Amino acid sequence: MEQNKLYDRILGSLLTAGVGDALGAPSEAFSPAEIKAQFGRITKFEDPSTNCISPDNKIGEVTDDSSQMYEMARAVVRSGGDFTAQDAADALIYWAQHYPKYYPRNAGPTTQHVIKALLAGEDPTTVGQTGKMYGRGTSNGAVMRVAAAGLIHPGDYEGAIQTAVAMSAPSHGTQHAYSGAAAIACAIAEALTPHSSVWSILRAGLYGAQQGEEIGRRTARIAAGIPVYPKVVKAIEIALRCRDMQEAETELECTIGADDISVQGTTALALGLFAAADGDSMKTILSGANIGGDTDTIACVAGMIAGAYNGTGAIDGQLLAQFEQANTSFDFRGVAQGLCDIACRQQCAN
């Protein structure tokens, strides 16, 4: 892909994820009925001050989701693409120390414990494999921050999987997390290719889910729970038979579930909403904000894929301007350029 187009797709992924995150922040943890009662339907940035999870957020401001995605992407740029589990651990520690609005308040059940262990000097290659606690290593933190793993590897599934695993290992060292992270990374990697389609992106996601599961079963902790792959298949099946986005939201929420913050559910919902929207960026992230449960994360992860497929031009211009005004501390354009430079070097090397 020509470099300017690649840059626009990479920036599109980061910005669409961020806009999705900010759209979903006011409705996080709400049921679909509660969203309808308070907002009717979310079609723009709403005031998050009535949400106890993000009461001090400005309208249009990101949450822990895309702030972690951003810091992980910055770490990938610093690594020059040779990203390791230590780099991921350093990025998590930096995030915890520099985002007091989100840490520890919004850190998930895995990340909160892991950051304490990393600060105590534990080995980042093994600390993420600690179990014996519900949700530890299987929550959706592994996918909320994974965008850069796909963005530096256009069309290179194996490279995307390798980086996604390194990114997940310090916090989410389980077969489910590796599967979910690899699924989203591969979907993004495919979305960046010149002739990608909605179907080729979904196939790439399924491939990543399979390969991540296999790597996790060989090298990580085997956690309890349904694998990612069948949940993604079910989500795609639901998307294909629904007549519109609101029907898809209802069916996906009732069948897959949006309230459990599991990596399996979030991965499946992100790919399912992307499929139901036929790849449309705004339809994808608005449905993520309206589906209920962990709305900010679902919209953020789904936005990574849709944005990589469509670029920046598919984001509503008014929302994008408002988003950038609310998030001036984030240099998404600079990070996107750094990721693009790495991606171009990777393509030349291959």
Output the six-digit token pair for 312: 């920046």
Report CA Rg, the chain. Answer: 18
User: Looking at residue 244, what is its pLDDT?
Assistant: 96
Element (H, E) at 148: helix 147-151
| Residue 260 CB contacts under 8 Å (≥ 6 apart), including other chains | 293
Cα 319 from Cα 168, distance rounded (Å): 31
User: Looking at residue 154, what is its pLDDT?
Assistant: 98
63: annotated binding-site residue? yes
Cα 331 from Cα 177, distance rounded (Å): 28
Output the six-digit token pair for 151: 């963005």
HSE of 87, CA atoms in CB hemisphere, 13 A: 21
The single residue listed with the structure tokens 């005004």 is 325
User: Looking at residue 101, what is its pLDDT?
Assistant: 87
Output the six-digit token pair for 231: 């949940």
297: annotated binding-site residue? yes
260: annotated binding-site residue? no
Best CA proximity match to 309, nearest among 163, 156, 188, 174: 188
Cα 34–Cα 35–Cα 36 angle in degrees, nearest 5: 90
259: annotated binding-site residue? no
Say how many domains are in the chain: 1
Q: What is the CATH number of the domain that holds 237?
A: 1.10.4080.10
φ/ψ of 221, rounded to 5, equals: -75, 135
> CA 166: distance to chain centroid?
15
278: annotated binding-site residue? no
Cα 149 from Cα 142, distance rounded (Å): 11
User: Looking at residue 330, what is its pLDDT?
Assistant: 98
User: Looking at residue 54, what is its pLDDT?
Assistant: 87
User: Looking at residue 305, what is its pLDDT?
Assistant: 99
Cα 95 from Cα 72, distance rounded (Å): 9
User: Looking at residue 142, what is its pLDDT?
Assistant: 96
Cα 32 from Cα 38, distance rounded (Å): 10
Q: How buried is residue 291: exposed, middle or buried, by Cβ count under 10 Å (0-12/13-18/19+)?
A: buried
User: Looking at residue 310, what is its pLDDT?
Assistant: 98
Best CA proximity match to 178, nearest among 109, 227, 245: 227
Cα 218 from Cα 240, distance rounded (Å): 33
Range of the domain at 228: 3-349
Cα 269 from Cα 150, distance rounded (Å): 18
User: Looking at residue 125, what is its pLDDT?
Assistant: 85
47: annotated binding-site residue? no
Residues of the chain with pLDDT under 70: none
